[in-house]
Structure 1
Amino acid sequence: MKHSLQNIILEIHNKEDKMSSQNKRLIDETYDMTLYLQDLLFSVKKLVINDGFNNDSEEINFFRIIKPQILGKLIYYNKVYRIETSCPVSNGKMYVSYFTTQLANLKREYIEHICNSDFYRYYRSGRTDRDHIYFKRGNINYHDGLNSIVFEIDPDFSTFYDYKIARIIANELLYSYLLTKINPDEDPDMILQKSESAKDVFWTDSKNALIELVYALHASGVISHGKIGIRKISLMFQILFRIPLGDLHHSFHRMKTRAGSRTAFLDQLKISLEEYMDKDL
């Protein structure tokens, strides 16, 4: 295929970073990302149908990793756009109630259609022994009692299970987004208001760099013996540096799949510290 895994995922990440830097309204950003991902999915579909795959490994890789990344984020951005444009108010009890209901709906869908399936456990465990069945076209087993969406998919561009992974990815992103919406302590405006006394302390690197640091501290368990959640650690940094970090989980998901080093900021920290140490030698 003409598009490699890294190129496609990197292209999506670059587009997301560009959108974030433009400080658009969330409604405008999600609408633009929905159109962009829809066009990308269409162009990739043409490549798959016209050029095919060089071998089974390439086909499995595409339907397990590449396509779910595109489709999962397409589902996510489209859903966020629908939620935001249907929101009745901009704050208050009705606002919190609206997003709490959306979160309850998401959890119910997760329980009914995702978490109890054999495939979900297979995917979450990181197994690959059945990839040749799940991620090669033409292997759909209707005896399994599959969701009716299987009758609507294009068999030349889906194995059905790539769609299921896309839903898992979308649901994870939506979960983080909705939690942020119903937790007033994580509202960017509230964070900036609380940090008036620290105007001279501010973060001068990218938001992704700070998120990388936050996750590293959380993963190492060095704050409160590891008993403090990622969101509380994030909130402390947001208040200290007067910077809203937005959807942490979404940003972390992009970090895990980005090209090159997944810990670019931490790598640079190590280099900077060693160079600083060498100055005294």
Structure 2
Amino acid sequence: MTKFYNEILCKLETAIQDLEIETDYSIQRIETVIDLIIKSLLELKQFVLAKGFKNTDDEIHFFKYQKPIIVAKLIYYNSVYKIEAKKPYGDKQIKKFLNKELFKLKKLFDNNIDFYKYYRSNNSFLNDKFFVRGKHDIRLWLDTFYFEADHRFSTSHDYKVAKIIANDLIQVYLEDQLNSNHTKISDNSSLNWTGSKTALIELIYALYAHGVFNNGNTDIKLIAKTFEDAFNIELGDFYHTFMELEARKINRTKFLNSLCEALVKKMDEQDEK
């Protein structure tokens, strides 16, 4: 399952990145992305229905950590599609509209605070009820959506996890829109990345692969955007850069290796004092 899932996710993210070379959120482009995600989910569903899972742990892992990543993309792009389609004219009207959308995210968070705490803290004592098909408990934070879903490919809470992941991305999108709606101070941070973009992308993917943010349940786009804002840098097509790193024959983690060497050297110098 994991190998097939990773292939589906990689193919999808590459296709989305190819479409996102342009920076604008055109309605037509978003429609194309949504169609790609739906097709990917259909492939995944067909595989699950045909192959099933080796055991309950595999099923929990899929519905808690894997399927929600792709469903979150669908929720995110569908939300962006609706926002772009409904966005009013005029700076003041746009600002009011975007702030209202941010308030909706906060309200959703407040209404689901117990499950957010369970998920964000990486608890597992209710996993057999939340992420195993046919094991729902109506007393445990159920959405009406679950009763309309195909229970062969859904659990009571995998969609709720996807909403959490998607809402992080939607918040970043809305805040970006608000920032672009007024003049920004160019030097909003005292820290500027002065190394190469390739080095930073290598670091970002290493942190992403190690799962150090939100227990490993954070989209790579969100991590990259956070680093861009923090260090006043535009990474551009970071997916393509990562693929170039993958294609290296030797020393694929050149920057990370140099970091280790620099840290060990610093420690040795401290010991000599």
Pairwise same-fold verdict (TM > 0.5): yes
Identity of aligned residues (%): 28
Among candidates 159, 164, 187, match of residue 160 of structure 2 = 164
SS at match of 1:53: coil
Aligned to 1:12: 12
Cα distance between partner residues in 1 of 2:167 and 2:46 = 27
Say whether residues 1:134 and 2:126 are aligned partners.
no
Cα distance between partner residues in 1 of 2:201 and 2:66 = 25
Structure 1: 5+ residue stretches without partners: 196-201, 220-229, 276-281
Counterparts of 1:90-239 in structure 2, within 5 Å, are 92-112=91-111, 114-115=112-113, 117=114, 119-144=115-140, 146-184=142-180, 205=197, 209=201, 212=204, 234-235=228-229, 237-238=231-232
Counterparts of 1:68-79 in structure 2, within 5 Å, are 68-79=68-79
Cα distance between partner residues in 1 of 2:80 and 2:152 = 29
Q: Tell me how far 1:76 sits from its aligned partner.
A: 0.6
Give the aligned residue type for 2:137.
Answer: N
**TM-score, length of structure 2 as denominator length:** 0.69
* Compared CA separation, residues 210 and 82, structure 1 to 2 (3 A): farther
Q: Tell me how far 1:167 sits from its aligned partner.
A: 0.8
Q: Tell me how far 1:244 sits from its aligned partner.
A: 7.4
CA contact (8 A) 2:131 2:155 kept: yes
Post-superposition Cα deviations, 1:74-99, rounded to whole Å, max 9, x if no partner, equal: 0011100110121122x522221211
Aligned to 1:25: 24
CA contact (8 A) 2:75 2:166 kept: yes
CA contact (8 A) 2:5 2:44 kept: no
> How many residues were matched structurally?
231
Aligned to 2:254: 268
Post-superposition Cα deviations, 1:108-131, rounded to whole Å, max 9, x if no partner, equal: 12212x22x2x3222111122332
* Compared CA separation, residues 143 and 208, structure 1 to 2 (3 A): same
SS at match of 1:183: helix
Q: Tell me how far 1:207 sits from its aligned partner.
A: 10
SS at match of 1:45: helix
Aligned to 2:271: none
Structure 2: 5+ residue stretches without partners: 188-193, 213-223, 263-273
**TM-score, length of structure 1 as denominator length:** 0.67
Cα distance between partner residues in 1 of 2:44 and 2:23 = 27
Q: Tell me how far 1:70 sits from its aligned partner.
A: 1.0
* Compared CA separation, residues 266 and 52, structure 1 to 2 (3 A): closer
Alpha-carbon RMSD: 4.0
Say whether residues 1:45 and 2:37 are aligned partners.
no
Give the aligned residue type for 1:171.
Answer: N
Cα distance between partner residues in 2 of 1:235 and 1:144 = 38
Cα distance between partner residues in 2 of 1:55 and 1:236 = 42
Cα distance between partner residues in 2 of 1:270 and 1:87 = 43
